[in-house]
A and B are shown apart, each in its own frame.
Chain A
């Protein structure tokens, strides 16, 4: 049988065969490693998905002919994701990145069906022999933002647009609040739950509602720059999320927590090519450069920049655990004794809020 290199003709030729034989298709040594990505939002969201897309492009340009990447955007979290993952695997992708929490069960199912394909799931907690997880320590960035908010807020009340009360989001709220309280012990944080990762209209409305309630600095754990735009209209400040959003709201963005997935993607693709890829869980932060801070906005004064830099550098140096006791939760229960830093295991199942959080 002649091997058609065109995927389309190849698939057509094997029409009627079950999906599994496609896995056995031997790739010649010179063939590039096909790497697939599925995104939960559009690549133009200026936030979460945008950051993954930038990293994909960077990986592609760094590894050149060694990899061939493709992506599917706007994939709903649920059965649709499983179908797309299967399609990518059937299409010859050997390394597939599922870049949203809600793709977890789809990734688990697809990984079982395609044991020779390596799957990587961002922010999840289920792993398998060919399913690794990876995440960034975004809460590192929250500590820097909290320092700035504590120093720059006049009302002493910060607003926080949150998506879902999962540990990832909860630890961000707590880190932000604690860092701000280090500067201003009376600092309070109002949390508004939006039940979505990406809905610009809802995000803008939420930001306005928080501003109306007396918050003067807005943090967000949602993906679009709509909240920052709303801040800019009102003359308030906020923080960008996932990508540098200063181009959209230059007068409002104090700084942004940027996700820089490129080093991880490039490393994993190289390992897959070399045959050294292994499953596992990667959780990198400011030190490894997976979490980065955008340049400070022009409105951030020098003393604030210095304090923010000090927080950042201490985390990078490993001398500061942003959640260190004494910490009480907002029901008055002592959670961490003085001087005790929180562990990764505790962070990964965090479901309580520190004192000063109103949610």
Chain B
């Protein structure tokens, strides 16, 4: 190949901030052409997907509902990713958080009061953290890759959920349908504005983002985590212990994923069903990188993903786009966001083709 990627010495600061905007613009253009080629009204489709959900206030809450769990999970993951700890199993911790929190509600015996929800949330965070403690223990003690263990434990968590909703936790009044009973009012996330879906988990996600941003950029613990990721040797030299980093990163990311799980179960879902694992834990990995592993960036990344979901549905009803075309559009958006980003950090250099007869002298040498 006559081309190669070469890191830029210093990325252009303007371009650093402009790159997401350029990527979105390019996606809009690509989508316009693509939808038009399929025979749909491309302009209207793009308007519905990218612009309508942002300018029309009636959709803001929908964006928040969709983005909140993604953001909450992604922030935790980003802490680990920065410290070189790769928790890929947030989906499992999310599910375990929901299970732990629901367990509190179901076993409180109907005598619960105002304490119900806080205790459920605490149990949710603990459940997620404990589930993440397994890969942490394996990595810290036995040096087993947390990428594999955390990912595989996700599927275990989902099977545990299936078992519970079909067996011991099945709603006795639910006609044998595999679902838990609906949460009561004291067990549900409060709705902040009547008649909407704006639940407490949405502002909490924003607060978590701000808190983690402060911790990561202003405290010693944050510094320790960042150094462990950037320069493991320097971290060791500074006396930061690798095991501590592994534990910290996994417990925090697991705890946040668990918290997102119980927020979602006690919020929008209102119960646990077999459809509860919707892949938020995996989508959050994308959100973490979209937000460049920065908590505040992740807030924006979560909203961008939510826009493409909510807007996609709008375009389905207004323009009649098939959902597969919207999936393609979302993929294009991610591809271009990462692609443009790469061009900000790297430049493409043409390299002169290597001179061909380099083998000849070698032969001569071996003959001599």
Residues of chain A having any CB pair with chain B under 8 Å: 7-8, 11-12, 14-20, 22, 36, 42-43, 70-80, 82-84, 86-88, 90-91, 101-102, 105, 113, 125, 164-167, 170, 195, 348-351
With A19-B195, A70-B320, A75-B313 given, name 9 new contacts (CB 8 A).
A22-B58, A72-B316, A73-B316, A77-B273, A83-B310, A86-B197, A87-B62, A91-B314, A113-B195
Query: What range describes how many residues of B lie at the interface?
Result: 35 or more
A90 — which chain B residues lie within 8 A by C-beta?
58
Residues of the A chain whose Cβ atoms lie less than 8 Å from the Cβ of B269: 78-79
Q: Does B275 lie at the interface of the complex (its beta carbon under 8 Å from any beta carbon of A)?
A: yes
Contact call A166/B178, Cβ cutoff below 8 A = yes
A177 to chain B, nearest CB (A): 18
Interface: B222 (CB within 8 A): no
Least CB separation from B162: chain A residue: A195
Which chain A residue shows the least CB distance to B319? A70
Contact between chains at B278 and A8 (CB < 8 Å): no
Check A88/B177 contact, CB under 8 A, given A16-B57, A42-B323.
Answer: no
Quick one: which of A11, A71, A76, A349 contacts B278, CB cutoff 8 A?
Answer: A76
- Whether the pair B175, A20 counts as a contact (CB closer than 8 A) is no
Q: Are A43 and B275 in contact (CB under 8 A)?
A: no
Cβ–Cβ < 8 Å partners of A71 in chain B: 316-317
Contact string against A for B residues 306-340, beta-carbon threshold 8 Å, 1 for contact and 0 otherwise: 00011001101110101110000000000000000
CA distance A159 to B159 in the complex (A): 24
Given A73-B322, A167-B175, A12–B56 Cβ distance below 8 Å?
yes
User: B27 near A: Cβ within 8 Å?
Assistant: no
CA distance A19 to B57 in the complex (A): 9
Q: How far is the CB of A109 from the nearest CB of chain B, in Å?
A: 8
Are A7 and B273 in contact (CB-based, < 8 A)? no
Beta-carbon nearest neighbor of A16 in chain B? B57
> Which of these binds chain A: B47-55, B145-153, B347-355?
B47-55
Alpha-carbon separation in the docked complex, A125 to B176 (Å): 12
Q: How far is the CB of A201 from chain B (nearest CB, A)?
A: 16
| Chain B nearest Cβ from A175, distance in angstroms | 17
Structural contact, A165 and B273, CB atoms closer than 8 A = no
Q: Are B176 and A170 neighbours in the complex by a CB distance under 8 Å?
A: yes
Is A351's CB under 8 angstroms from B176's CB? Answer: yes
Q: Is the CB of A73 within 8 A of B323?
A: yes
Known: A8-B47, A91-B317. Is A165-B166 also a contact (CB below 8 A)? yes
Main secondary structure of the interface of B (DSSP, over half): helix
Is the CB–CB distance between B278 and A74 below 8 Å?
Answer: no
- Docked pose: A43 CA to B325 CA in angstroms: 13
Determine whether the beta carbon of A72 is less than 8 Å from that of B52.
no
A78 touches B275 (CB 8 A): yes
| B283 part of interface (Cβ distance < 8 Å) | no
Q: Closest CB-CB distance, A135 to chain B, in whole Å? A: 13
| Complex-state Cα separation, A195 to B155, whole angstroms | 14
State whether the Cβ of B65 lies closer than 8 Å to any Cβ in chain A: yes
Cβ-defined contact, A164 with B274, below 8 A:
yes
B57–A77 CB distance below 8 A? no
Contact yes or no, B58 A76, CB < 8 A: no
Query: In the assembled complex, which residues on chain A have CB atoms less than 8 Å from the CB atom of B62?
Result: 83, 86-87
* Given A166-B176, A348-B175; A78-B317 close (CB under 8 Å): no
Choose among B162, B313, B323 the residue that contacts A83 (Cβ–Cβ < 8 A).
B313
Q: B35 in the interface, Cβ–Cβ < 8 Å?
A: no
| CA gap between A43 and B323 in the complex, in Å | 9
Taking CB atoms, residues of chain A closer than 8 Å to B48 are: 8
Instruction: Name which residue of chain A comes closest to B275, CB basis.
Output: A77
Knowing A8-B47, A165-B166, A167-B176 touch, does A70 contact B317 (C-beta < 8 A)?
yes
Given contacts A19-B58, A70-B320, A164-B177, contact A80 B195 (CB under 8 A): no
Cα–Cα distance between A18 and B322 once the two chains are bound (Å)? 29
User: What CA separation (Å) do A170 and B264 show in the bound complex?
Assistant: 30
Q: Which of A42, A77, A82, A349 is in CB contact (< 8 Å) with B197?
A: A82
**Chain B contacts for A86, CB-based, 8 A:** 62, 197
CB distance from B65 to the nearest CB of A (A): 7
B196 CB contact (under 8 Å) in A11, A19, A350: A19
- Chain A residues near B323 (CB-CB < 8 A): 42, 72-74
Instruction: Return chain A residues, CB-CB under 8 Å to B177.
Output: 101, 164, 166
| A15 and B51 alpha carbons, distance in the complex (Å) | 13
Residue numbers in B under 8 Å from A70 (CB-CB): 316-318, 320
Q: How far is the CB of B364 from chain A (nearest CB, A)?
A: 58
Please name the residue on chain B nearest to A196 by beta carbon: B274
> Cβ of B322 and Cβ of A15 under 8 Å apart?
no
CA distance A91 to B309 in the complex (A): 17
A283 to chain B, nearest CB (A): 14
Task: Assess A78 versus B268: contact at CB under 8 Å? Given A8-B47, A19-B58, A72-B316.
Answer: yes
Query: In the complex, are the beta carbons of B317 and A72 less than 8 A apart?
Result: yes
Known contacts A19-B196, A79-B269, A83-B197, A11 near B56 by CB under 8 Å: yes
- Return A117 CB to nearest CB of chain B, in Å: 14
**CB-CB < 8 A to B317: which residues of A?**
36, 70-72, 87-88, 91
Taking A11-B58, A73-B323 as contacts, is the C-beta distance between A79 and B65 under 8 angstroms?
Answer: yes
Question: In the complex the two chains form, what is the Cα distance from A86 to B175 in whole Å?
Answer: 27
With A11-B58, A17-B57, A83-B313 as given contacts, are A78 and B318 in contact (CB-CB < 8 Å)?
no
